[in-house]
Structure 1
Amino acid sequence: MTQARGWRLAIHDELASTQDVVLAAAQQGEPEGLAVLARRQSAGRGTQGRPWTSPDGNLFLSMLLRPEGPARDLPQYGLLAGVALADAAAAILPPGADLRLKWPNDLLLGGAKCAGILSQGSIDAQGGMEWVAFGIGVNLALAPALPDRPTASFADTGITPPEPEAFAHLLLDAITRWRGLGLAAVRAAWVARGPELDAPMRLRQGDTLREGRFAGLDEDGRLLLATSTGVVPVSAGELLPAVS
């Protein structure tokens, strides 16, 4: 176990899933500040249970927070993780690297996915946040292929990719910093790093397909989709490639 400015960072050569370790710890009452890094995962997963290919050289990191506040704030901690991730990536990549956040949980490099965030949480009996756990995977050295979208790695920009532990320290520091700035600042930063305002969007929610344009985020961190019938706040869904 190492220290990372208020975090307790446990490093493993291999785990089935860093997220499973942190979820189990959260349910057993572990205080906030636990972070778990694995150099390899045998059963890593992303959103909707999709497998996350986990080769040596990339980052596989999960962490536990116990924030105070109403349950409605829980989704905004996923935005916080995204903004912190974008900051940490920008500190490593060449100046001018094309980094964009994709709602709700991806980081794009040159329009291709280079990182993803799995955000899970629990609500207490009083309707407040009990805990939130982030699982973050970053393509530092390698970009495993995905069937439905292009992928990229930090190494694709020509840099020598950082060691996962070194990047984990940058990321944990950034999360601490953004927590101190508050959720309103997080939302503003996410919009600045996200899609261009008025960009066309196609969104799938179950069997429903919505089309519109990006109109920002509301005070609860929901995506605002401007449609032909008005602005619709969206709390969950999957963004699809826009039709040009």
Structure 2
Amino acid sequence: MTQPAICPSVVSIPRGNGGAWRMEVHDRLGSTSDLCKNRLDAGQGEDGIAILALKQTAGRGSRGREWHDPGGNLALSIMLVGPGAVVPVGLWPFIAGLALHDAMAGYVPPGHALELKWPNDLLLDGRKMAGILIETGTEGGVSWQVIGIGANLRGRPDIAGRALSCLADCGGDVPAAPEMARALLHHLDLWLARYGAHGFDAIRAAWLERGHAIGTPIRVAAGNQQFTGTFAGLEDDGILLLRTSAGVRRVVTGEVLLAPVNRE
């Protein structure tokens, strides 16, 4: 006999603009972002909806990778529609990254390093613990954005060739996913307000304070090309600046690895 669908619990999280995030907490989903996109495709998109899965079985990361969830981690997607989808898509990794960093920082004990990595990763003690996936489109002439965020809280998947971390590696208390999601949405609201008041310059400056330091050795893989250099900052639109032997190079897209530069 088919089991009846379990309705998600719904939590309202106040925002500074007088509105609220409406967070749905699902016990189990394939992909939180796919649920958002399915609703948008069906004409059921709603601005300010956040979908949280306590267990996600088919999560997606950047560049078509799977995002493995061993359970107990954060799998959250935020749906923004119409007037809510006003932030240029290229700026979202920085705004969402700042919110993710600041929400997570409240649970990281002293002695551990939390660092943003261009364009959409969060590192804990030098290893990836969280990532952000931005998707955008138009439905019925109305623009939408889906901000997907996955973070390793209680466990980290075992993936060959990739060094990952989770919040539990630090010891101490690890929040449940709904608590972390609430903290993240709170900080996202703060950074959206700051962006609205001061523009991207304020976001860029804050990201540079929390990101890999100027001079950090970097290797970039972009298509069939690979090149190395050191981090030289961000342009006004968030494009990465890489100092190479041939001068400063603008990196619009690519996979960035914080690795020693081979100077031979």
Give 1:122 shift: 2.7
Given the alignment, which residue of 146, 149, 155 partners 1:142?
Answer: 155
Specify the alignment match of 2:5 in structure 1: none
For residues 137-196 of structure 1, the C-alpha deviation after alignment (integer angstroms, 9 at most, x for no partner) is 111101112223211111111112101000000000111100011122211111111111
- Other structure's SS at 2:28 match: strand
Q: Equivalent residue for 1:151?
A: 164
SS of the aligned residue for 1:152 comes to: coil
Instruction: Answer yes or no: is 1:107 the counterpart of 2:122.
Output: yes
**Residues 69 and 156 of structure 2 are in contact (CA less than 8 Å); yes or no, is this contact kept in structure 1?**
no
2:97–2:120 contact (8 Å) kept in structure 1: yes
CA–CA separation in structure 1 for the residues paired with 2:90 and 2:129: 21
Structure 1 residue 124, shift from structure 2 partner: 8.9
In structure 1, the partner of 2:3 is none
Deviation per CA, 1:13-44: give whole Å up to 9, x if none: 11110010112334436232110000111211
| From 3, 11, 15, the counterpart of 1:2 | 11
Task: Name the structure 2 match of 1:38.
Answer: 53
Change in 2 beyond 3 A, CA 1:123/1:97: farther
Aligned residue type for 1:227: T
Asked whether 1:98 is paired with 2:126, we answer: no
Does the C-alpha gap of structure 1 residues 215 and 50 become closer, same or farther in structure 2, counting only changes over 3 Å? Answer: same
Q: Is the 8 A contact 2:103 2:183 kept in 1?
A: yes
Q: Which amino acid aligns with 1:198?
A: G
Q: Residue 238 of structure 1 corresponds to which residue in structure 2?
A: 255
Aligned pair partner of 1:222 in 221, 239, 246: 239
1:132 counterpart residue number: 145
Q: How many angstroms apart in 2 are the aligned matches of 1:207 and 1:42?
A: 31
Structure 1 unaligned blocks of 5 or more:
none
Give the distance between the partners of 1:138 and 1:222, measured in 2 at CA: 24
Aligned amino acid, residue 24 of structure 1: N
Equivalent residue number for residue 86 of structure 2: 68
- Given candidates 5, 15, 30, the residue that maps to 1:16 is 30
Q: Is the 8 A contact 2:235 2:241 kept in 1?
A: yes
Q: Which runs of 4+ in 1 moved over 3 A?
A: 123-126
**8 Å CA contact retained: 2:23, 2:50:** yes
2:49 maps to a residue whose letter is: L
Q: Secondary structure at the match of 1:178?
A: helix
CA distance in 1, matches of 2:236, 2:138: 20
What is the CA distance between 1:120 and its match in structure 2? 1.4
For 1:223 and 1:124, the matched residues in 2 are separated by 31
Among 206, 209, 221, the residue aligned to 1:192: 209
Q: Find the residue that maps to 2:169 and give its secondary structure.
A: helix
- CA–CA distance in structure 2, aligned partners of residues 55 and 94 of structure 1: 23
The separation in 1 between residues aligned to 2:232 and 2:139, in whole angstroms, is 32
Residues of 1 paired with 2:258 and 2:184: CA distance? Answer: 28
TM normalised by structure 2 equals 0.85
CA contact (8 A) 1:116 1:136 kept: yes
Aligned to 1:213: 230
- Give the SS at the match of 1:7: strand
Q: Distance in 1 between matches of 2:143 and 2:212?
A: 31
Contact 1:90 1:97 in 2 (8 A): no
Unaligned runs of 5+ in 2: 1-9, 15-19
